[in-house]
Structure formats: C-alpha cells, structure tokens
C-alpha cells in the first residue's frame, strides 16, 4: 500500500475509513496482524505510530497487547500452585490473597494493575488493619507475582515500586526467666508441662514437638531425636513432613534436671508403641493447635509474662540460656536445628559429645537460678560493720 507520497510501505498497513480517519495495522513477531487501539486523524500520525511499533520489535521491547489481558486471580492462584511451597507457606499465601489482595485486584487483568492503584491499595490496608507486618507480607507476595508476570512478558513493568513497603520491623524477641518457665509449666498442667520445658530447653519448634514419637525419646540418655515436623494447617489437619531445614533433623540432649519430667510424661501421657505420639490431647488423639493455644493464653495471663509472649518465644529463651551456659554459636545452631550456608561452616563439627556438654551447662544454669529463687541471699551482720539494732536505730533517726 502506498503511503500517500508515492512510496510503498515497508512495514504495516494504513487504510482510510469511511469516517475520514486512518486505521493502522502491523505484523507482530508471530506474524499476526494487529490493529492500533485507536484511529488517527492524519496518515502521518498513523505512519509515526507504525514506526514506533517497528522500533519496539527491533529492540526486543515489543509486548503482545493482549498478553496483559489475563485475570489476576487466575494468574495468582496458578502462581502459588506452581511453586514448591511448604504447606504452611501455601496456607499463608492463600490467606494473604483471599483476605488482603484479591478483594481489590481479583477482578482486574494484569495490565490494569498500575502503580497508583497499588499505592492506594496499600494505604487503604494500612488504614483498616493494625497488622502492619501482614500488610508487608501481602505487598511482597503481590510484588513477586507481578515480577513473574514481567518475566512471562505479560506486562512491561512491575507496578509494585514502593520503597520499603515489603520490609517488616520485627518486634524484639521476649525471653522468660527460669522462674517464669517453671511457673508456666506448673500452670499449664501435668499433661503439657514437658512441652513447655522442651520448647524452652530443647529448644524444639512447635511442629517438631507435635511430630515426636515414643521411639524418638531415650529417657536413659536424655536424648530426643527430631526426625519430622507435623505443622497444623488452617483447616485443622496435620501435614507430616520434613523439618524446617536440613539441620532440623537432629539429636537434642536434655539437661539432667529434665530426667524426672521426661520419665513421668512417657509413663503417663505418651502414646503406646514406638509410633505413639509423645504429646496427646485429653481424649487420646493428636492435640489441636487451637486447643493448646487457649490453654497457653490462659496460663500466660496467670503467670504474668509479658503480653503477647508466644510459645515460640520459649525457644528464644532457650537460645539465651544456652549461650549464657557457655554454648558457642555453632553449638546453639545445631541444638536449635538452624541452617544456612554460612552457619553450616561454623557448626558442622559440633558432635554429640559437645551437645551433651551444652546440656550439662544448661542444667547447671537452671539449677543455680532455681536455688537463688528458693534461697534469697542474706548479708551477715558482722560484714556490715555494726550490730543490727544499731543499724535499725540509725535508719529510724534518718526517718527510714
């Protein structure tokens, strides 16, 4: 087709419509002819638009105009499905989508989600909820999904461009005193007191405690073998699987003061047979996280630990006490079942003998703290340099 100047057009085509305006079309890299989204007043305007499209194709910047016409909800749900996620991560992503992201963007196509809309969505979420860490998680999830859409050539640019919006300011981890741990164990009752102690002095994760079997407990050696984790999903069902990290599969040696606690619990409350669960509910079935959570919140108030003190915070208590008892970083990492490339080089030589030494140090630390609570220190009169009755008279004279 001629371009009006006597030359044959090399790229695309322009035709005049009955209305007098001009329509432009061009072949994409796939050979499909695509029309411009609008018509043009002059043939020169149409020609300029075709030139821009030709340049985009040559530079590799061209995007299929129909690519972004993919429903966000459909794309997001498939995005979650295609990732190899732990069951808890999958539950978290579905919660963030259902409660925080899809109500705003669920009906939109990918290319309809713009940077201003994302900013407006985040501001609205922050106004209506106090859970700022949850909003940060939701933002990170939205950003990851949209970044994959960029990689898939469905959109040109990620609309999530708010600096710092995905960062969480973690609250300072709380720790309990030895006396508070004992008080929590006493208040929660005989069936669950060992769980409190293992959470603090193991320190085992909640999902690791849920997965313990009788065969994992060696009372004589004071040894707990962590083999699996059984996190509870939002639907109430357990999902047995691997521990949180490769280092999570480990042997944990317990301090000597826990021997009677371990023996009594295994005799009275643990399930029967090698595969019997160590921790069972009152009716003899696997305990529910929600049921234990209600007990925990109640005793937390009774004991008077800081508001919001979580069961998981017992684990931080154990870290702190182990360090104070002489454990090195590599000892603590092995004991807690933590893993990273950097940490692996540090703790890979921490063997069973060293772990038993750590348990012995922890035993001494806790026993000393308990003794100090039971026997408050007193200062003999002769060390103060004056009789007690003279000191009392002096204090009265001072009005004290």
- SS3 percent helix, strand, coil of the chain, rounded to 5, is 50, 10, 40
Taking CA 222 as the corner, what is the angle to CA 217 and CA 223, rounded to the nearest 5 degrees?
Answer: 50
Give residue-wise pLDDT tens across range 222-262.
999 999 888 888 777 887 777 665 656 888 999 999 999 99
Q: How far is CA 70 from CA 4, 93, 157, in A?
A: 39, 20, 15
Inter-residue contact 68 to 111 (CB < 8 Å) = yes
Tell me which of 71 and 386 has the higher pLDDT: 71
Please tell me the distance from the alpha carbon of residue 188 to that of residue 48, in angstroms, as a whole number. 77
Tell me what the mean pLDDT of segment 144-161 comes to: 92
What does the pLDDT read at residue 150?
92
Determine contact, residues 336/312, Cβ cutoff 8 Å: no
**pLDDT over threshold 70, residue 42:** yes
Is residue 117's pLDDT more than 80? yes
pLDDT value of position 376? 60
Cα–Cα distance between 295 and 215 in angstroms, integer? 27
With bands split at pLDDT 50, 70 and 90, how would you rate the model's confidence at 381? Answer: low
User: What average pLDDT is seen over the chain?
Assistant: 83
Is the pLDDT at 396 greater than 50, yes or no? no
Residue 400 reports pLDDT greater than 50: no
Whether the pLDDT of residue 146 is over 90: the answer is yes
Q: Is residue 79 predicted with pLDDT exceeding 80?
A: yes
Reported confidence tier of residue 349, pLDDT bands at 50, 70, 90: very low
User: Residue 15 burial (CB < 10 Å; 0-12/13-18/19+)?
Assistant: exposed
pLDDT tens for residues 293-344? Answer: 899 999 999 998 887 889 988 988 888 888 777 777 777 777 767 655 444 3
Cα–Cα distances (Å) from 146 to 68, 180, 240, 369, in that order, read 11, 46, 32, 53
Q: Are 334 and 250 in contact (CB under 8 A)?
A: yes
Residue 68 confidence (pLDDT)? 58
CATH topology of domain 178-374: hpI Integrase; Chain A (1.10.443)
Question: How far is it, in rounded angstroms, from Cα 288 to Cα 116?
Answer: 43
Largest CA distance in the chain: 122
- The sign of the dihedral angle between the CA atoms of 246, 250, 254, 258 is positive
């Amino acid at each position: 087709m001629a371009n009006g100047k006597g030359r044959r057009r090399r790229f695309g085509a322009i035709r005049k419509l009955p209305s007098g305006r001009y329509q432009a079309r061009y072949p994409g890299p796939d050979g499909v002819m695509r029309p411009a989204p609008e018509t043009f007043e002059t043939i020169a305007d149409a020609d300029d638009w075709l030139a821009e499209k030709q340049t985009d194709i040559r530079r590799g910047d061209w995007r299929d105009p129909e690519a972004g016409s993919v429903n966000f909800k459909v794309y997001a749900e498939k995005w979650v499905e295609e990732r190899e996620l732990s069951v808890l991560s999958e539950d978290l992503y579905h919660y963030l989508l259902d409660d925080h992201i899809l109500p705003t963007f669920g009906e939109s196509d990918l290319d309809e989600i713009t940077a201003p809309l994302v900013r407006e969505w985040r501001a609205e979420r922050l106004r209506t909820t106090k859970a700022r860490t949850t909003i940060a998680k939701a933002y990170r999830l939205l950003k990851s999904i949209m970044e994959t859409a960029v990689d898939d050539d469905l959109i040109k640019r990620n609309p999530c461009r708010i600096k710092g919006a995905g960062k969480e300011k973690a609250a300072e981890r709380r720790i309990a005193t030895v006396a508070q741990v004992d008080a929590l164990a006493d208040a929660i009752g005989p069936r669950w007191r060992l769980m409190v102690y293992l959470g603090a002095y193991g320190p085992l994760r909640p999902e690791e405690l849920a997965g313990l079997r009788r065969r994992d407990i060696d009372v004589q050696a004071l040894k707990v073998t962590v083999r699996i984790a059984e996190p509870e999903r939002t639907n109430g069902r357990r999902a047995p699987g691997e521990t949180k990290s490769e280092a999570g599969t480990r042997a944990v040696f317990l301090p000597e003061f826990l021997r009677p606690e371990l023996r009594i619990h295994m005799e009275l409350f643990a399930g029967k047979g090698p595969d019997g669960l160590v921790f069972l509910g009152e009716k003899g079935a696997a305990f529910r996280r929600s049921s234990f959570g209600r007990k925990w919140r109640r005793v937390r108030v009774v004991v008077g630990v800081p508001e919001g003190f979580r069961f998981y915070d017992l684990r931080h208590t154990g870290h702190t006490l182990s360090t104070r008892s002489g454990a090195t970083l590599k000892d603590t990492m092995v004991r807690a079942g933590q893993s990273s490339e950097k940490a692996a080089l540090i703790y890979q030589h921490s063997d069973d003998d060293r772990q038993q030494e750590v348990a012995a140090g922890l035993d001494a630390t806790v026993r000393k703290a308990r003794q100090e609570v039971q026997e408050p220190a007193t200062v003999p009169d002769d060390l103060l340099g004056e009789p007690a009755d003279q000191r009392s008279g002096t204090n009265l004279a001072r009005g004290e």
